Amino acid sequence: MSDMEEGKLSAEAEAYFSSGGEVLPEDKPNTAIEQAETSVVQEQPQPEAPVTDGDSAEQEGDPNRTVPYGALSKERSRRKEIEAKLQAEITAKAVLEDRWNTLAQAMRQNGEAAAVDDDPEPDPTVDIFAHMQWQGRQNKKVLEQIQERETQAAQQQQVQAQERAVADYWRDSCQEFATQSPDYGDAVHFLSETRDKQLQSMAAAYPQFQTQEGRNQQMNAELRDIVITAAKTGQSPAQVIYNMSKAYGFTGAAPAPNAAAEQLKTIQDAQSRNKTVAQASGAPSGDVLTSQAIADMSPEDFERWYTKPENQTRLIKVLGGR
């Protein structure tokens, strides 16, 4: 039993009371309380450690687990790819949004410009005279628009009439001149090809001549100017084109090869027959009768030649007789 239970003070307590509270008792741990707390802690049941496999340890964030380098690299690559796609989508969205804002602003400005009326309609209930003047201005504006359209239509009709006149004058001139010069079509074709080659050589300096369409437009424009100038001066444009073709080297249409060969053969045969007859008849042609010339005679020519007595004598001499 302790001193407190027997009704006695401890030595530290007696010293404290006898000194009037000047001597303090030393602090001692309350072992009883500590022992009680320790026993309580020991009596509490401890939770059992869960049994985990590899996947559970990975899910619980086990600090001691390891990840294969290949899997880690693959995961990082996949994350970078996703981040790149996301960034690209964000950039594209920003660009589209900026362009949409630009378009909307332009449409807004156009709408505002169209909405601005330089001559708004006055309120007739406020100022009837101002409204009447405004109506007069509107009527004048409508009349001016009608007159402008009519002027443009008249100018277009005039241009079309001039083009038809130029085309008709050119066609009539070609038909008339072709009856006088059968090779006129060949001359036009020759001049067209020559001019086309010239324009092709100028294509480096004039890109419009790099295509056949561009060169045709240039040649048609030049032909139009020639026809108009010829019409003003009273000339035949077909004659002008024909002369230009000859100046560029056109010498006329060559006859067909077969026809030329046949014509040449006919002339040679005629000359041969005339020469043979002259020799056979003793005409003073200056040529000497030879055995080859006699052999080249046709049967009809030889028979006609041999019927003359003097030719019989000549034949004997040619063949070596007396």
Task: Band the pLDDT of 281: cuts 50, 70, 90.
Answer: very low
Residue 58 confidence (pLDDT) = 46
Residue 40 confidence (pLDDT) = 43
3-state helix, strand, coil in the chain (%, to 5): 70, 0, 30
Which of residues 316 and 127 earns the better pLDDT score? 127
Residue 165 confidence (pLDDT) = 87
Residue 54 scores a pLDDT above 50: no
Neighbours of 169 (CB within 10 A): 16
Residue 198 confidence (pLDDT) = 93
- Can you tell me the mean pLDDT for 261-270? 53
Q: What is the pLDDT of residues 140-170, one digit of tens each?
A: 888 898 999 999 999 999 889 988 988 998 9
Cα 243 to Cα 186, 238, 249: the distances in Å are 13, 9, 10
DSSP letters, 100-113, are HHHHHHHHHHHHHH
Task: Band the pLDDT of 174: cuts 50, 70, 90.
Answer: very high
Residue 186 confidence (pLDDT) = 92
DSSP assigned state of 202: T
- Can you tell me the mean pLDDT for 44-71? 55
Neighbours of 16 (CB within 10 A): 16
Which of residues 202 and 14 earns the better pLDDT score? 202
Which of residues 91 and 321 earns the better pLDDT score? 91
Q: Measure the N-to-C terminal CA separation of the chain; round to a whole number of Å.
A: 201
Residue 303 confidence (pLDDT) = 74
Q: What's the CA gap between 137 and 131, in Å, rounded?
A: 10
Q: What percent of the chain has pLDDT over 90?
A: 21
Residue 274 scores a pLDDT above 60: no
Residue 262 confidence (pLDDT) = 60
Residue 317 confidence (pLDDT) = 66
What is the average pLDDT value for the chain, to the nearest integer?
74
Q: What's the CA gap between 97 and 76, in Å, rounded?
A: 31
Residue 263 scores a pLDDT above 90: no
Q: What is the pLDDT of residues 222-237, one digit of tens each?
A: 999 999 999 899 899 9
Residue 49 scores a pLDDT above 50: no
Residue 44 scores a pLDDT above 60: no
Residue 76 scores a pLDDT above 90: no
Residue 56 scores a pLDDT above 80: no
Residue 21 confidence (pLDDT) = 58
Residue 92 scores a pLDDT above 70: yes
Residue 63 confidence (pLDDT) = 58
Task: Band the pLDDT of 241: cuts 50, 70, 90.
Answer: very high
